[in-house]
Amino acid sequence: MDLGCTPEEEDFRARLRRWLGEVLPHLPAPPAATDWPGRRAYDTAWQRMLYDAGYAGLHWPRDAGGQGATPAQHLIFLEETERAGAPYVGANFVGLLHAGPTLAAEGTAGQRARWLPPILRGEEIWCQGFSEPDAGSDLAALRTRAVRDGDAYVISGSKIWTSHAEVADWCELLVRTDPDAPRHRGISWLAMPMDAPGVTVRPLRTLAGSAEFAEVFLDEVRVPVANRVGAENDGWRVTMVTLSFERGTAFVGEVVACRRVLGALARAARANGRWDDAVLRRRLGRLSAEFTALWWLTQWNVSEAMRGPGRGGQRGGGVPGTGGSVFKLRYSHARQELYDTAAEVLGAGALDVEHAWVADRLSSLSYTIAAGTSQIQQNIVAERILGLPKGR
Amino acid sequence: MDFQLTDEQRALKDGTRELLAGRFGRDRLRAAVEDPAPDRALWRELGAAGFFALRLPEADGGVGLGLPEAVLVLEEAGRALLPGPLVACQLLAGVVDGVAAGERIVGLCDGAREPALWEHPGGCDELIFVEGEGGRRGGSTGGPAGGAGEGAQGRTGGAYRSAPDQVSCAPFASVDPLTPLARVLDLPHAEPVAVDMPRLRREAALLTAAQQLGSAVRTVEMAAGYAREREQFGAPIGSFQAVKQLCAQMLVRAEMARSAVYAAAVTERALDITGAKLLADEAAVRNARDCLQVHGGMGFTWEADVHLHLKRAWWHAERWETAGEAEELLAAGLIA
Ligand SMILES: Cc1cc2nc3c(=O)[nH]c(=O)nc-3n(C[C@H](O)[C@H](O)[C@H](O)COP(=O)(O)OP(=O)(O)OC[C@H]3O[C@@H](n4cnc5c(N)ncnc54)[C@H](O)[C@@H]3O)c2cc1C
């Protein structure tokens, strides 16, 4: 068990810290949550800066355009960018955190060369078209049809809760390519251009008031067969890879942010007198232990994945395992408890929807739903880790 | 960074598990419920295997390993519910003669608590009594103010060694049938021992947390195992989601505790240890309760081992750092 950093890693931390110290003061303020073009421009500009400075796709394999960094360097990157208050991945979430890693693991050389560099340079935004109105938790119930016509698939159907669809260039799309096969066997994973004729995006308002996600309607959309990742009808396997990245590693950077918020909460409570309440103090103390442990758990999971076989049997780049569900289960609830505690510190201030902590409290409500609900994660943990029989 | 067990650490952990499974299996455990005195032969065997001398330098006849390894073997001991003052013997192996080899058994009593409890009073060859900050707390009801009582504010209390017959005790009916307890009323302060007290307390908390982790891991296995076998309504109860959810939450608690305990063993930082103790206590206590629930009526019997885990977990949760103390320390750490 080794939590230490090598001199090279410490060197990396120092360089990164210096760079962040130079660039962050000159960054413009982030745009309003409702300003979609502004947010896209802001998020992609930040990604471009990371790219130019050599920090894009840090832990991606080199042949996927990444830097091939060690897991420790990746975690240092997450720690330092968060600590410095650098911008969040934002609209780049899907591309950087799960579509990109899936393409790196499952795409052909040509597909990796086509799609990965623009993700890393912040030129192309991806969204995730998995869920459908009647296929959320039961993802394999998806009905969107793709019928082969020459060298293209002709796609009809609809997707829902598609985050960032309004500004996305590409969609990781699940379609049914064989309606007669057993439900898990007739699915394919495609990269669909969002500007293709027949794609309509209708924004959906979230309970936080913003249009964070959308409905996507697909009316005879033509997508080249060459855009399929993995074999035809083998999309469920590819989907599992995507979900393991989404649950396994996509949220880990946020743990650091939560620890930062926790410190700020404690100071705010001291300033406004709420600190004298032992119940509140003890809640904050407990959350401190939880977020620290979640960060260790992350290191445990990342180390485990890196020991596993990567693509082509090489060490490193391993796909995260079911440990991601364990992490997500606890993290999503801890995050909600954090912002509930923030509300206690704020008192009536918790009714001010413009307060950053209140906005985060609202968005934290989605954490036990998106990327697999807590109930589904519990089923996964019980069945795949503990070996309990499948339910009906 | 490679936060996984090394091959050597895994071998040590597996070896300890095998040794305990062979020498302290279910039959021995149930026999110990009737007579919980430490098994001297097993103690010597553990000593010979290096269990207690793990952290002593090789030059002193030890194994020369570190806190992470001590945590791994105590996790296994906690998993097996091995009775006896294990943490005391780990920590005092280099301090009290014969302990490293498993020849003598030493107890450790924390005077910062009221009442001051001594585990296995009948099974110890010696007792090390550690005072709280500012000397022995006590007062009128506590009785045992002793020589170094009030008025000595601010200094770190000392540690004293005593032969069992020098310690004045009152009986205390332990909730844990595997851990007999006595209440220490007074003891002679004649023979001070030189130990780094803050460090002793930190390590005692961490090693106790390691036992809690082992128990928490074991009760998840017990619950999942039972849920796979036991049938109701024509199906294994583990196929019902309410049961799955109990089991899944148990695993989450155990894995959180594992991360925290292992990491604290590596960093040795006080607040990391505090957090680890908090999460491990909670994992052990709540997992035992949920395990009991999964076992239904069987879980409520003396026959099932579940209550032994719960009662041990309660005892360990009261030792060295309680939840309230830990949460306050961690909260203070947020604004330090
Ligand atoms: C903010 C946000 C962003 C999202 N972004 C995207 C995106 O970009 N792309 C995308 O494809 N999807 C996205 N989603 C969709 C998300 O993945 C689904 O909402 C989620 O998987 C749950 O599906 P559902 O909404 O259909 O709920 P349902 O599946 O209908 O579930 C309703 C309730 O029933 C419970 N339930 C359902 N089945 C079971 C079961 N077998 N056992 C126990 N309980 C069960 C659920 O836990 C839940 O409590 C997003 C969702 C949110 C909230």
Residue B50: CB partners within 8 Å, gap ≥ 6?
Answer: B62, B63
Residues 289-348 of A with CB under 8 A from B: 289-290, 292-294, 296-297, 299-300, 302-304, 306-307, 323, 326, 329-330
Three-state SS string across B121-132, please? Answer: HHHCCEEEEECC
Decide: A214 and A202 in contact? Cβ < 8 Å: yes
Q: State the DSSP code for B101.
A: T
CB contact under 8 A, B334 and A285: yes
The pLDDT tens digits of the residues spanning B201-233 come to: 999 999 999 999 999 999 999 999 999 999 999
Confidence band for A69, pLDDT divided at 50, 70 and 90: confident
A79 has catalytic annotation: no
Q: Residue A323: what pLDDT?
A: 81
What's the CA gap between B164 and B270, in Å, rounded? 32
Q: How far is CA B132 from CA A103, A266, B89, in A?
A: 59, 28, 20
Residue B70: which of B261, B324, B257 has the closest Cα? B261
What's the CA gap between A366 and A333, in Å, rounded? 10
Instruction: Give the number of other Cβ atoms within 10 Å of residue A152's Cβ.
Output: 16
Confidence band for B124, pLDDT divided at 50, 70 and 90: very high
> A151: which 2 tokens?
């060298």
Q: Residue A270: what pLDDT?
A: 96
The pLDDT tens digits of the residues spanning B276-326 come to: 999 999 999 999 999 999 999 999 999 999 999 999 999 999 999 999 999
What's the CA gap between B334 and A266, in Å, rounded? 6
Q: Residue B61: what pLDDT?
A: 84
- Which domains are present in chain B? 7-92 (1.10.540.10), 106-136+157-193 (no CATH), 197-335 (1.20.140.10)
DSSP character string of B119-165: ESGGG-SEEEEE--TTS---HHHH----TT-TT-TTSPP-EEEE-GG
| Between A313 and B300, residue with greater pLDDT | B300
Could you give phi then psi for residue B25, rounded to 5 degrees?
-80, -165
Q: What is the rounded average pLDDT of the residues A268-293?
A: 97
* Distance from the alpha carbon of residue A136 to the mean position of ligand 1, in angstroms: 5
CB contact under 8 A, A300 and B4: yes
**Ligand 1 atom 29: the closest Cα is on which residue?**
A137
Decide: B216 and A368 in contact? Cβ < 8 Å: no
Chain A residues lying within 8 Å of B70, measured CB to CB: none
Percent of chain B with pLDDT over 70: 93
H/E segment holding residue B105: none
CB contact under 8 A, B244 and A4: no
> Which atom of ligand 1 is nearest the CA belonging to A375?
47
Confidence band for B154, pLDDT divided at 50, 70 and 90: very low
Which range among A199-213, A214-228, B82-96 shows the weakest confidence by mean pLDDT? A199-213
Q: What is the rounded average pLDDT of the residues A128-154?
A: 96
B155: pLDDT strictly greater than 50: no
B152: pLDDT strictly greater than 70: no
Burial of A312 (0-12, 13-18, 19+ CB in 10 A): exposed
A36: pLDDT strictly greater than 90: no
**Residue B329 identity (one-letter amino acid):** L
Residue B92: which of B200, B222, B188, B232 has the closest Cα? B200
What's the CA gap between B47 and B244, in Å, rounded? 41
B139: pLDDT strictly greater than 80: no
Q: Residue B24: what pLDDT?
A: 95
The ipTM (two decimal places) reads 0.88
H/E segment holding residue B321: none
Q: Residue A244: what pLDDT?
A: 83
Which range among A150-164, B130-144, B185-199 shows the weakest confidence by mean pLDDT? B130-144
Q: Residue A321: what pLDDT?
A: 72
Buried b (16+ CB within 10 A) or exposed e, B273-292: bbbbbbbbbbbbbbbbbbbb
Q: Residue A303: what pLDDT?
A: 86
> Which atom of ligand 1 is nearest the CA belonging to A137?
29
The pLDDT tens digits of the residues spanning A169-185 come to: 999 999 999 999 999 99
Partner B contacted by A88 (CB < 8 A): no
Residue B106: CB partners within 8 Å, gap ≥ 6?
Answer: B85, B88, B89, B92, B96, B99, B124, B125, B126, B127, B128
Buried b (16+ CB within 10 A) or exposed e, A38-73: ebbebbbebbebbbeeebbbbbbbeebbbbebbbbb
Please give the model's pTM, rounded to 2 decimal places: 0.91
- Mean of the per-residue pLDDT values for chain A? 92
Q: Residue A327: what pLDDT?
A: 93
Long-range contacts of A269-273 (CB under 8 A, 24+ apart): A269/A345, A270/B335, A272/A345, A272/A347
Q: Residue A310: what pLDDT?
A: 54
* Distance from the alpha carbon of residue B186 to the mean position of ligand 1, in angstroms: 62
A312: pLDDT strictly greater than 50: no
Q: Residue A34: what pLDDT?
A: 79
Q: Residue A392: what pLDDT?
A: 65
Q: What is the rounded average pLDDT of the residues A370-388?
A: 94
Q: What is the rounded average pLDDT of the residues B132-155?
A: 41
Q: Residue A307: what pLDDT?
A: 80
Q: Which residue of B has its CA nearest to A275?
A: B331
Q: Residue B134: what pLDDT?
A: 55
Half-sphere exposure of A340 toward its Cβ, with a 13 Å CA cutoff? 10
B136: pLDDT strictly greater than 60: no
What's the CA gap between A257 and A254, in Å, rounded? 5
Q: What is the rounded average pLDDT of the residues B39-63?
A: 92
Could you give phi then psi for residue A171, rounded to 5 degrees?
-130, 130
Of A266, A307, A390, the CB nearest to B335: A266
What's the CA gap between B100 and B90, in Å, rounded? 8
Q: Provide the β-strand partners of residue A315.
A: A309
Query: Of how many residues is chain B composed?
Result: 336
CB of A131 shorter than 6 A to ligand 1: yes
Confidence band for A162, pLDDT divided at 50, 70 and 90: very high
Which range among A361-365, B42-46, B144-148, B176-180 shows the weakest confidence by mean pLDDT? B144-148
> A75: which 2 tokens?
């975690």
Decide: B86 and B223 in contact? Cβ < 8 Å: no
What's the CA gap between B316 and B106, in Å, rounded? 17
Could you give phi then psi for residue B320, rounded to 5 degrees?
65, -55
Partner A contacted by B224 (CB < 8 A): yes
Question: Would strands A228-229 and A187-193 be described as parallel, antiparallel, or unpaired?
Answer: antiparallel
What's the CA gap between A182 and B35, in Å, rounded? 59
CB contact under 8 A, A289 and B326: yes
Q: Residue B146: what pLDDT?
A: 37
- Which domains are present in chain A? 7-88 (no CATH), 126-231 (2.40.110.10), 248-386 (1.20.140.10)
Helix axes A71-83, A252-272, angle to 10 degrees: 30
Q: What is the rounded average pLDDT of the residues A53-63?
A: 90
A313: pLDDT strictly greater than 60: no
Catalytic residue among A80, A246, A254, A290: A246
Sign of CA dihedral A138, A143, A148, A151: negative
What's the CA gap between A372 and A240, in Å, rounded? 12
Burial of B325 (0-12, 13-18, 19+ CB in 10 A): middle
Q: What is the rounded average pLDDT of the residues B234-259?
A: 97
| Between B131 and B80, residue with greater pLDDT | B80
B145: pLDDT strictly greater than 80: no
> Peptide bond preceding B115: is omega within 30 degrees of 0, i.e. cis?
yes
Q: Provide the β-strand partners of residue B161.
A: B128
- Region of B8 on the Ramachandran plot (φ > 0 left; ψ -120 to 50 alpha; else beta): alpha
